[in-house]
Amino acid sequence: MSAPAGKAVRVVPRARLAGLALATVAVVVAMAWLRFDAANIALAVAGVLVVGVVLLAQDAGHAMMWPRIVDADRGGYRHEVSQLSWAFTGKDGRITETGFRRLRDVAREHLALAGLDLDADADAVRELLGAGPYATLHPPRGQLPHPRGVDACLAALERLGTDPRSTP
In terms of domains, do 156 and 124 share one?
A: yes
Name the pTM for this structure: 0.47
DSSP state of 94: S
* Residue 24 covered by a domain: yes
In terms of domains, do 18 and 92 share one?
A: no
- Taking the C-alpha atoms of residue 140 and residue 137, their distance in angstroms, rounded to an integer, is 10
In terms of domains, do 107 and 36 share one?
A: no
Task: Count Cβ atoms below 10 Å from residue 18 Cβ, excluding itself.
Answer: 10
* Confidence at residue 98, expressed as pLDDT on a 0 to 100 scale: 82
In terms of domains, do 53 and 89 share one?
A: no
More confident of the two residues 168 and 102:
102
* Residue 74 covered by a domain: no
- Taking the C-alpha atoms of residue 64 and residue 39, their distance in angstroms, rounded to an integer, is 39
What is the mean pLDDT of the segment spanning 120-131? 88
| Residue 164 clears pLDDT 50, i.e. is over it | no
What is the mean pLDDT of the segment spanning 53-75? 64
* Residue 19 covered by a domain: yes
- Who's near 40: CB < 8 A, 6+ residues apart? 31
- Taking the C-alpha atoms of residue 15 and residue 37, their distance in angstroms, rounded to an integer, is 30
Handedness of CA 38, 39, 44, 49 (dihedral sign): positive
Percentages helix, strand, coil for the chain (3-state, rounded to 5) are 60, 0, 40
Residue 148 structural domain = 81-166
- Taking the C-alpha atoms of residue 87 and residue 95, their distance in angstroms, rounded to an integer, is 8
Mean pLDDT of the chain: 78
Instruction: Report how far apart, in Å, the C-alpha atoms of 100 and of each of 19, 103, 155 are.
Output: 55, 5, 16
In terms of domains, do 100 and 135 share one?
A: yes
In terms of domains, do 101 and 51 share one?
A: no
CA max distance for the chain = 98
Overall domain count for the chain: 2
Whole-number percent of the chain with pLDDT over 90 = 18
Could you tell me if 155 and 162 are in contact, meaning their C-beta atoms sit under 8 angstroms apart? no
Instruction: Report how far apart, in Å, the C-alpha atoms of 21 and of each of 31, 56, 81, 93 are.
Output: 15, 12, 51, 59
Could you tell me if 125 and 136 are in contact, meaning their C-beta atoms sit under 8 angstroms apart? no
* Residue 2 covered by a domain: no
* Confidence at residue 166, expressed as pLDDT on a 0 to 100 scale: 45
